[in-house]
Structure 1
Amino acid sequence: MNSMIPRPEMIRNTGSTARDFCMLERNLLSHIKLALLLSLLSSSVLLRARLVPSDNPSELSGTIGYVVASLQFAAALAAIFAGAWEYYYGYWDLRNMHAFLVATKPHLGIMGVVSSVVLLTCIIVLTQS
């Protein structure tokens, strides 16, 4: 009965293995934090919330507000996906003792799209106010 339970493999802590694993976890948590911030920004655009109250209604109302909020929420999901992608492949490279200092190309592309959404949101907010 006990022979059917898989035993976890121990990875020897040689060189920078522990530091590299902590780097992978920290990067995943950074991606999750970015996704939470983007989803919060998306919700604030949909709810027309402002940090400083004003007499004028929110500038991002109507169709533009829905489009910007949808783009931000999609970017939040993409950030979570990119973080999970990087963590998964970095973990397997770590287990197989492959070098993984170079970011994977899909991760770089996805984060480039997320950065473009953030820049586009800044431009839209600046031009609408």
Structure 2
Amino acid sequence: MDSLISSQMVENAGSTARDFCMLERNLLSHLKLALLLSLLSSSVLLRARLVPDPSDKPSELSGATGIAVASLQFVAALAAIVAGVYEYYSGYQDIRRMHAFLVAVKSHLALISVVAAVVFLTCIIVLAER
């Protein structure tokens, strides 16, 4: 455990600094996606609209459907955070060991595919409810 916590100098050879910045950007992108998904989840639960509907017809999701969609989005937000942190630490370990990490980890791709499927499913449900 001490080897993970202790700081160690890594030689800046080739593209090490650029690769580390790429890992940080990817982690921040995952966190931004998780924040947007949790915001969308909250807006579905609260039946809030960012753009008001000019017609008086209510266009919110029904109670049970809204709770299911909001729950899926929140789980997808948590999965995006887990995928981002996992990718960051596995890439950081590869940088410290001087391994090439151009091939993405398969579990990261699987988690992000689930998140993308939830986003696509949400779009279909919202369009079907209109």
Same-fold call, TM cutoff 0.5? yes
2:21 corresponds in structure 1 to 22
Q: Residue 28 of structure 1 aligns to which amino acid in structure 2?
A: L
Q: Residue 26 of structure 1 aligns to which amino acid in structure 2?
A: R
Gaps of 5+ in 1: 1-5
Provide the rounded CA distance (Å) in 2 between the counterparts of 1:34 and 1:15.
30
Q: CA deviation at 1:7?
A: 6.5
Q: CA RMSD in A?
A: 1.3
1:11 corresponds in structure 2 to 10
Provide the rounded CA distance (Å) in 1 between the counterparts of 2:68 and 2:18.
41
Which runs of 4 or more aligned residues in structure 1 lie more than 3 Å from their structure 2 counterparts after TM superposition?
none
Provide the rounded CA distance (Å) in 1 between the counterparts of 2:35 and 2:72.
14
1:83 corresponds in structure 2 to 84
Note the alpha carbon deviations across 1:68-123, whole angstroms, 9 max, x for none. Answer: 00000000000000000000100000100011011100000000000000000000
1:112 corresponds in structure 2 to 113
Q: CA deviation at 1:27?
A: 0.1
Give aligned pairs, total.
Answer: 124
- Residues 48 and 58 of structure 1 are in contact (CA less than 8 Å); yes or no, is this contact kept in structure 2? no
| TM-score, normalised with respect to structure 2 | 0.91
Q: Residue 129 of structure 2 aligns to which amino acid in structure 1?
A: Q
Q: CA deviation at 1:51?
A: 2.0
Does residue 1:41 correspond to 2:40, yes or no? yes
| TM-score, normalised with respect to structure 1 | 0.92
Moved more, 69-78 or 44-53: 44-53
Gaps of 5+ in 2: none
Moved more, 55-64 or 82-91: 55-64
Provide the rounded CA distance (Å) in 1 between the counterparts of 2:73 and 2:88.
22
Provide the rounded CA distance (Å) in 2 between the counterparts of 1:125 and 1:117.
12
- Residues 28 and 84 of structure 1 are in contact (CA less than 8 Å); yes or no, is this contact kept in structure 2? yes
2:49 corresponds in structure 1 to 50
SS of 1:59's equivalent in the other structure is coil
Does residue 1:103 correspond to 2:89, yes or no? no
Q: CA deviation at 1:9?
A: 1.5
